Amino acid sequence: MDLTFSARETAFRDELRAWFAANDSGPEPPMSSTGTREDEAHFAWRRDFQRRLHDGGWAAPHWPREHGGRDASLTESAIYFEELGRARAPLPANVLGLLLGGPTLMVWGNQEQQDRFLGPILSGEEIWCQGFSEPEAGSDLAAVKTRAVRDGDGWIVTGQKVWTSGAQYARWCMLVARTDLEAAKHKGLTYFLMDMDQAEVQVRPLRQITGESEFNELFIEGARIPDEHVIGGVGNGWKVALTTLMNERAGLAFFLQVRLRQLLDDLIDEAAARGLLEDDVVADKLGALHVKAEILRLTAYRGLTAIEKYGQPGPEGSLTKWMWSDANQQLTQLAAELLGPEALVTGSRWGYELLRARGNSIEGGTTEILKNIVAERVLGLPRAR
């Protein structure tokens, strides 16, 4: 057991810290609570910062060198996301392309597809979004109804997608659609890259409870996808989608963990400044969140070791997202309790965080689904109903 970082990992962290020190992302533009114009400024800020990351060779250290990455180990990748969070820098604008799309292409894409798409993902020149969920297929992904029908050397797609983050800025959509109505539920699916730049794809931003719009509805009415944008072969969409989903949480956990820590530290500072820590009840509540944040960090590191040593995540790997969403919701609620009115004003940081945190236990797998997964796959309980 050794919870220190190796010389190589420390050098990686030092180099990264030096880079962040020299490349401040600047103040975060406010998210909109009333419309979309400010959201665009916010996205532009993230896109600009991704370009700088890319110029510095830091857009995707977890990618192989041949594709513009740094061959970073899992631990180094965790360090990268911790440092990104610590520098209070934004997640790269094309986070879905970097974390999901690129790695999926590296597994399932052919040479032409890799040559065409990986570069613009890395630079942020082309933004990617993820078209999996549908109104009738949320947690039950295999129930997708969006249809792709063969048409000459391509496909015509009709259907609807929802919760599509960043679609309003995206050029490419990782789209799962049904290509075979006869085949069993999982088997009739194909994974496409859909060009968002066509009139047959309409994007309607969904306004969240925060007032801003991160995600969207997609209305697809006869959109065209050429054959060369099928990823992993016709009828193989379920397997390809699983590759995408398996990449979903790996690195992000460390970014989120650091963000939670920062929010908590800021709240502790505010509480201390107001003399609230002298109150045992307040100190207890803040301490409880400190405990949760530390347990999350340690458990995430245990998960990393499990993957590095045994090639697959242990039980702890399934728990960190649940721990994080739970802690972040409690933290923002406590902030509202301790700071009172100023945390409840529209446009205030804590007011925003309080509302945004409600999404944490829904996005990327609801806590209920995570509990099912833990029960069935980790504990081996019979399939729940």
The Cα 125–Cα 91 span in angstroms is 15
Nearer to another protein, 239 or 302 (CB): 302
In angstroms, give the least distance from the CB of 77 to another protein: 12
Q: Of 149 and 282, which CB lies nearer to another protein in the complex structure?
A: 282
Q: Identify whether the C-beta of residue 365 lies closer than 8 Å to the C-beta of residue 322.
A: no
CB of 278 to another protein, least distance (A): 9
190 strand-pairing partners: 177
- Which H or E element spans position 337? helix 320-339
- φ/ψ bin of 211: left (φ > 0), alpha (ψ from -120 to 50), beta (otherwise): left
Q: Which is nearer to another protein, 192 or 322 (CB)?
A: 322
Count of residues in the chain: 385
Token duo for residue 108: 């399932």
In the complex with another protein, the residue whose CB is nearer, 61 or 97, is: 61
For 84, 200, 259, 336, the CA distances from 81, given in Å and listed in that order, are 5, 37, 10, 28
Question: Shortest approach of another protein to residue 270 CB, angstroms?
Answer: 10
| In the complex, least distance from residue 377 CB atom to another protein, rounded to whole angstroms | 11
Q: Which residues bind another protein (CB under 8 A)?
A: 1-6, 9, 75, 265, 268-269, 271-272, 277, 280, 283-288, 290-291, 294-295, 298-299, 301-302, 304-306, 309, 315-316, 319, 322-323, 368, 370-372, 374-376, 378-385
Give the CA angle between residues 165, 171, 174 to the nearest 5°: 60
Kindly list the catalytic residues: 248
Q: Which structure tokens are listed for 132?
A: 């999996």
Nearer to another protein, 157 or 293 (CB): 293
Phi first, then psi, for residue 314 (nearest 5°) are -85, -170
Whether the Cβ atoms of residue 94 and residue 43 lie closer than 8 Å to each other: no
CB of 182 to another protein, least distance (A): 31
Phi/psi-derived region of residue 360, left when phi > 0, alpha when psi is between -120 and 50, beta in every other case:
alpha
